[in-house]
A and B are shown apart, each in its own frame.
Chain A
Amino acid sequence: MKHLIIIIFALVLLSCAVTDEKVGLFERYNSYKSEIIKQKSNLILPMLSENRRNQIKSLGEKEFPILSSFPNILHKNVNHYTKIKNKIGCLTINGYGENNSPIVLSIKYLYENNEWLVDFVEIYYADLAKEFQTKGICPSES
């Protein structure tokens, strides 16, 4: 009986983990934007990867202008795609920014402590909307 309870408990924990991992990256992106407005802050530290949190604590928020700017880049979303492999997830959003300029926003997330956390961002200013992506791509860090 004791073993059965342990097994059931483990299965419940496992299902929770899987469910969390499947939380959409686009929903995470929208949550981040909501928190920015709610907290009147440029950065939401708990939603960033552990490595980024440590760097920001060490160097200061001003050294991370892209992380503090990306939620406000797109004024209109067109569509989005995701790519998930193991503990790395990438969200690609096509849309338009200031002056109706076409932009491809790519965000790399890391799955840490049962949630997707922002780790790296690429903001690509396309010349034309035909450069919009048709699949999820991870931002290149090099």
Chain B
Amino acid sequence: MKFQDITTQENRASKIGIKITIAKLLEIAYSKNKGLTTKIIRKKGNFKISINGNGKVKLHGSAGVLSFNGGVALEAIGAKVKFATIHFSKGEGQTANYKASFSFAGGVTSLSVTGTLNIEELITSCSGLLCQAARLLKGNSKRNEQRLKEIMEN
């Protein structure tokens, strides 16, 4: 692979792209089963999201997983994910800290991202992140992506 190709892939699979993807993955889980997703992300213990090379996403609860196809959400990264894990742990107040590690097909590069999001804001109202992400999924404008980026950069 040429240097230019590597650089392009790294740029496309940016940290911002990963943050947007995390938001979209949570939104998809929420759209599949609102009640169960809420219980998993609200439970006291840590939770995790994993992605395999086929784009299958798993939201890990204790003694079980909720899984689905990452499809649209993974397109935001712009590179094929080989595998990824996103660990969520309790932060201060109603926040959750997350640490994401993404590896991309071809072994060219991997990226790690950390951040914090407000769990209650995420799930309690339609002004929360999940509803915003749901709306943003329907559009693809730069303005929408910018808004989602702002949400995940808290």
Residue ranges of A at the interface with B (Cβ–Cβ < 8 Å): 52, 55, 59-60, 62-67, 69-70, 73, 97-98, 101, 119-127, 139-142
Q: Which 8 pairs of residues, A with B, have the shortest CB-CB distance?
A: A66-B64, A65-B39, A121-B64, A125-B32, A66-B61, A125-B68, A124-B67, A64-B62
Q: Check if A59 sits within 8 Å of B64, measured CB to CB.
A: no
Is B139 an interface residue when CB atoms closer than 8 A count as contact? no
Q: Of B7-15, B40-48, B86-94, B113-121, which binds chain A?
A: B40-48
- CA separation between A119 and B63, bound complex, in Å? 7
Secondary structure call for the A interface: mixed
Q: Check if B63 sits within 8 Å of A62, measured CB to CB.
A: no
Q: Check if B32 sits within 8 Å of A52, measured CB to CB.
A: no
User: Which residues on B sit within 8 Å (CB–CB) of A124?
Assistant: 67-68
- CA separation between A126 and B55, bound complex, in Å? 12
The residue that A63 contacts in the complex, of B32, B62, B65, B66, with Cβ under 8 A, is B62
Q: Check if A59 sits within 8 Å of B62, measured CB to CB.
A: yes
User: Which residues on B sit within 8 Å (CB–CB) of A97?
Assistant: 33
Residue ranges of B at the interface with A (Cβ–Cβ < 8 Å): 32-33, 35-36, 39-40, 43-45, 50, 58, 61-69, 71
User: Which residues on A sit within 8 Å (CB–CB) of B64?
Assistant: 64, 66-67, 70, 120-123, 139
User: Which residues on B sit within 8 Å (CB–CB) of A73?
Assistant: 33
Q: Check if B65 sits within 8 Å of A66, measured CB to CB.
A: yes
Q: Check if A120 sits within 8 Å of B63, measured CB to CB.
A: yes
- CA separation between A24 and B65, bound complex, in Å? 23
- CA separation between A60 and B43, bound complex, in Å? 10
User: Which residues on B sit within 8 Å (CB–CB) of A65?
Assistant: 36, 39-40, 43, 61-62
A-B contact pairs, 22 of them (CB 8 A): A55-B63, A59-B45, A59-B62, A63-B43, A63-B62, A64-B61, A64-B62, A64-B63, A65-B43, A66-B62, A67-B64, A97-B33, A98-B33, A101-B32, A122-B65, A123-B65, A123-B67, A124-B68, A125-B66, A125-B67, A139-B64, A140-B58
